[in-house]
Amino acid sequence: MKYLLVQPSTRITGAVEVPGDKSISHRAIMLGAVATGTTRVRGFLPGEDCLATLAAVEAMGVRVQRRAATEVAIEGVGLRGLQRPAHDLDMGNSGTAMRLFAGLLAGQAFDCTLVGDASLSKRPMERVAQPLRRMGAGIETDNGRPPLRIRGGAPLRGIDCTLPVASAQVKSALLLAGLYASGETTVHEPAVTRDHTERMLAVFGQPVRREGLSVALAPAGRLQGTDVEVPGDLSSATFLILAAALAREGSLTIGNVGLNPTRTGILEIFRLMGMDLAVEPADVPPGAEPVGRITVRPSQLRGTVIPAALVPLAIDEFPAVFVAAALAEGETVVSGAAELRHKESDRIAVMAAGLRALGIGVSETPDGARIQGGPLAGGEVDSVGDHRIAMAFAVGASRAHAAVRILDTANVATSFPGFAALVGQIGMRVEERGGGDGDARG
Ligand code: S3P
């Protein structure tokens, strides 16, 4: 099994970029596949999650050219041009791939089955299957979990749907199914979630109306292939930002990173915790994803009550928030974050267990935790195959009093290929060790 061995470090410095945004990369491939004409994607994330999406569209007859690791050209087959795959579509570790494809494939003429690894096979899928059934889709889960069996040929109709949980994946699945529906599809969210699907549909010529917490799509019948520039992933940048803030010296700049306001909750949380953070937005054409540059300096962090309103805008960043809290002065309170229990792992329980193993006081609540800042000891933590937990502990371990071994880390490659090498460039001391596929638990 793969593991990371992390030694403490004091100086984090440099100017780097991080790999492409995972959410945007998935969407570019999916929309490019069902568009008319060619879509060129630059800055594509060659992580395992997005490669699963790429392999799935290829299995449905879409021609894909990899011009470089981060450059992909997709020959779109049109909304009705996908073909029945010869085998089950393997989504690997990726909840985004499975839930978005559920929507996209509900409207096709053929049957197919979506499967995933051990972690994905435990994640809730009725949240997407139920509203798709209301649209007329034939879709079955296995007691609420993958595999997803989709029966093709069902005519879809637009619905007006109020989501019980804030989920960009469910919203996106319904909008993608809405491309194939008769009439308009409207989704009401309980809180704003990432809007990459809405933005990208507009770029492909399919506008989506937003009013407050509601989005509506009236199918235009066609998507037009286009060029997509994928910015660096702010969720990946978060680990480097935290590392630079926790360092004793240095200064780190991260360029070309996505600054979509539905994703920047983490920057607000870090500021509330006292982080010395400068954000310079770049000029981008209208409709494009916001990008810019972030500079971070060593900062004394303080414990904070995290406003629940920021949770959906920073949903993937809580492993890093837990580590920031552990190394802050005083207590940090996380609440309104029950969704964390349904991610690649139960991120509340796994973060609490790992921090306790390193000597930090943490009490769990059903929807969050109270974390007492304190010195972090060396030792061993289990990331249970969750990429973001592994990377968050790698950052925390850089400020521990002795080496930390982080177990079950092969899945770092799902979202941040080259993590150990890149953080090495800025001064962290992270060694990848161990072998096998390391993915026993996914
Ligand atoms: C994502 C949405 C979020 C997030 C995930 C990516 C997306 O999930 O956690 O990593 O690309 O739409 P939920 O929609 O389940 O909150």
What are the boundaries of each domain within the chain? 3-20+231-441, 22-214
- Which atom, in ligand 1's list, is nearest to the CA of 170? 14
| Ligand 1 atom 15 nearest Cα | 167
Q: Dump pLDDT digits (tens) for 178-213.
A: 999 999 999 999 999 999 999 999 999 999 999 999
Q: Residue 160 C-alpha to ligand 1 middle, in angstroms?
A: 21
Question: What is the rounded CA–CA span in Å between residue 161 and residue 188?
Answer: 6
Multiple choice CATH, 22-214, 3.40.50.1980, 3.65.10.10, 3.30.450.20, 3.40.640.10: 3.65.10.10
- pTM score of the predicted model: 0.97
90 is a catalytic site residue: no
DSSP state of 398: T
Dig out the tokens for 307 from the structure. Answer: 């406003």
For ligand 1, whether the C-beta of 235 sits within 6 Å is no
The amino acid occupying position 314 is A
Dig out the tokens for 34 from the structure. Answer: 């069902």
Architecture of domain 3-20+231-441: Alpha-beta prism (3.65)
Angle formed by the axes of helices 347-357 and 318-326, nearest 10°? 30
pLDDT at 84 over 60: yes
Q: What is the mean pLDDT of residues 397-423?
A: 98
- Which atom, in ligand 1's list, is nearest to the CA of 169? 14
Spatial CB neighbours of 224, under 8 Å, sequence gap ≥ 6: 35, 36, 37, 204, 205
Question: What is the rounded CA–CA span in Å between residue 251 and residue 241?
Answer: 10
The pLDDT-based confidence of 435 (bands split at 50, 70, 90) is: confident
| Ligand 1 atom 5 nearest Cα | 96
Q: What is the mean pLDDT of residues 145-159?
A: 97
- Give me the catalytic one of 90, 233, 316, 439: 316
Query: Is the peptide bond prior to 147 cis by the omega test (within 30 degrees of 0)?
Result: yes
The pLDDT-based confidence of 287 (bands split at 50, 70, 90) is: confident
Instruction: Give me the pLDDT at residue 436, please.
Output: 62
Q: Dump pLDDT digits (tens) for 351-360.
A: 999 999 999 9
Alpha carbon of 253 to those of 64, 112, 271, 279: distances in Å? 34, 45, 16, 10
Same fold: 3-20+231-441 with 22-214? yes
Q: How many CB atoms lie within 10 A of CB 167?
A: 24
Q: Dump pLDDT digits (tens) for 364-404.
A: 999 999 999 999 999 999 999 999 999 999 999 999 999 99
Q: Residue 242 C-alpha to ligand 1 middle, in angstroms?
A: 21
Spatial CB neighbours of 248, under 8 Å, sequence gap ≥ 6: 10, 11, 298
Note the Cα 11 to chain centre separation in Å.
28
For ligand 1, whether the C-beta of 313 sits within 6 Å is no
**Ramachandran angles phi, psi of 72, nearest 5°:** -130, 135
For ligand 1, whether the C-beta of 96 sits within 6 Å is yes
Among 290, 342, 328, 275, residue whose Cα is nearest residue 98:
342
Given a contact cutoff of 8 angstroms between Cβ atoms, the answer to whether 52 and 91 are in contact is: yes
Question: What is the rounded CA–CA span in Å between residue 18 and residue 250?
Answer: 18
Question: What is the rounded CA–CA span in Å between residue 230 and residue 257?
Answer: 9
For ligand 1, whether the C-beta of 236 sits within 6 Å is no
CA 326, 367, 96, 287 dihedral sign is negative
Which residues make beta-bridge pairs with 280? 293
Long-range CB pairs of 138-143 (<8 Å, 24+ gap) are: 138/106, 139/102, 139/106
Dig out the tokens for 92 from the structure. Answer: 């690997």
CA 22, 28, 31, 32 dihedral sign is negative
Tell me which of 22, 23, 25, 31 to substitute to probe ligand 1's pocket, judged by most ligand atoms within 8 Å of the beta carbon. 23
Q: What is the mean pLDDT of residues 274-289?
A: 94
Q: Residue 316 C-alpha to ligand 1 middle, in angstroms?
A: 8
Q: Dump pLDDT digits (tens) for 248-262.
A: 999 999 999 999 999
- Which atom, in ligand 1's list, is nearest to the CA of 343? 9
For ligand 1, whether the C-beta of 439 sits within 6 Å is no
Given a contact cutoff of 8 angstroms between Cβ atoms, the answer to whether 73 and 38 are in contact is: yes
| Ligand 1 atom 4 nearest Cα | 316
